[in-house]
Amino acid sequence: MATLDVSPASREGLYGGAAPTSTQEETQGPWLKLAKDAFSRSTTYFDNNYKQRWEDDLRMFQSKHPRDSKYISDNYKYRSRIFRPKSRSVIRKNEATAALAFFSNPDVVSIDPQNSDDRMQVASSIAMKELLQYRLTKTIPWFLTVIGGFQDAMTVGLVASMQIWRYKAKEEMQTRTVEHPELGVFQMEVPTQRIVEDEPRVELIPVENIRFDPAAHWYDIVGTSPYMIVQMPMYVNDVLDNMESPDRSGATWKPLPKATILQARVSAFDSLRQARNDNREDAEQVTSEVNEFDVVMVHLNFIKTGGETYAYYTLKDTHILSEPMLLSEMFLHCKSGRPPLQIGFCVIETHKAVPTSLIGLGSELQKEANEVANQRLDNVKYVLNKRSMVRRGANVDIESLLRNVPGGVTMVNDVERDVREVSWPDVTSSSYQEQDRINVDFDELLGNFAQGSVMTNRKLNETVGGMRIMAQGANMLTEYTIRIFVETWVEPVLRELIRMEAAYETDEVVLATAAERAQLFQRFGMNQITDSLLRQDLTLSVSVGMGATDPSQRTESFLKAMGAYSKMAVEGP
Q: Give how far Cα 542 sits from Cα of 3, 351, 483, 491, Å.
A: 48, 26, 10, 7
Helix axes 363-384, 86-103, angle to 10 degrees: 130
**DSSP summary character for residue 18:** P
**Cα separation, 343 vs 351, whole angstroms:** 15
> What pLDDT score does 88 carry?
92
Q: What helix, strand, coil percent values describe the chain, rounded to 5?
A: 50, 20, 35
**Cα separation, 211 vs 162, whole angstroms:** 13
Please give the backbone phi and psi of residue 218, each rounded to the nearest 5 degrees, phi first.
-70, -30
With 0-12 / 13-18 / 19 or more C-beta atoms within 10 angstroms meaning exposed / middle / buried, residue 135 is buried
Q: What is the pLDDT along the chain (573 residues), one digit of tens a residue?
A: 333 333 444 444 444 444 444 433 444 589 999 999 999 999 999 999 999 999 999 999 999 999 889 999 988 988 899 999 999 999 999 999 999 888 887 777 788 888 888 888 888 888 888 899 899 988 999 999 999 999 999 999 999 999 999 887 777 777 777 787 777 787 777 777 777 788 999 999 999 999 999 999 999 999 999 999 999 999 998 898 888 876 666 678 889 988 899 888 877 677 888 888 877 776 666 666 667 888 899 999 999 998 899 999 999 999 999 999 999 999 988 888 899 999 999 999 999 999 999 999 999 999 999 999 999 998 888 888 788 888 888 888 888 887 777 777 888 888 878 888 777 788 888 888 888 888 888 888 887 766 555 555 554 444 545 445 445 556 788 888 999 999 999 999 999 999 999 888 888 888 888 888 888 877 877 877 887 888 887 888 886 755 555 555 556 666 777 777 777 777 765
How many CB atoms within 10 Å of residue 537?
11
**Cα separation, 573 vs 564, whole angstroms:** 12
The dihedral region occupied by 385, where left means phi > 0, alpha psi between -120 and 50, and beta the remainder, is beta
Q: E-strand spans in 14-142?
A: 110-113
pTM of the model: 0.83
**Cα separation, 17 vs 31, whole angstroms:** 27
HEC sequence for 444-512: HHHCCCCHHHHHHCCCHHHCHHHHHHHHHHHHHHHHHHHHHHHHHHHHHHHHHHHHHHHHHCCCHHHHH
With 0-12 / 13-18 / 19 or more C-beta atoms within 10 angstroms meaning exposed / middle / buried, residue 474 is buried
The dihedral region occupied by 383, where left means phi > 0, alpha psi between -120 and 50, and beta the remainder, is alpha
Q: Which runs of consecutive H residues, i.e. helices, occur in 230-386?
A: 236-244, 258-262, 271-276, 327-330, 358-361, 363-384
